[in-house]
Amino acid sequence: MENLTIQYVLVGIIVLLAITYLVKQGKKSLKGNSSCGKGCGCAPLTNCNTSQKK
């Protein structure tokens, strides 16, 4: 194989992995029940719905 072809194949694989990662992250964020409100901090143990509002 020519060097240019190998580079295109490697770049294609990296792009596919990046798209797969972004799709998985998008599905995870859309599926989750918790949402991060403004000023919540999004800590894993923080419940945004019960935080005090000023």
42-to-24, 29, 33, 34, 39 alpha-carbon distances in Å: 19, 12, 13, 9, 8
Predicted pLDDT at 12: 97
* pTM for the model: 0.53
In angstroms, rounded to a whole number, what is the distance separating the alpha carbons of residues 3 and 5? 5
Predicted pLDDT at 30: 77
What ranges in the chain are assigned the alpha helix state H?
Answer: 3-31
Q: In the chain, pLDDT over 70 holds for what percent of residues?
A: 57
For the segment 6-26, the average pLDDT, to the nearest whole number, is 95
Token representation of residue 33: 């029940």
In angstroms, rounded to a whole number, what is the distance separating the alpha carbons of residues 14 and 20? 10
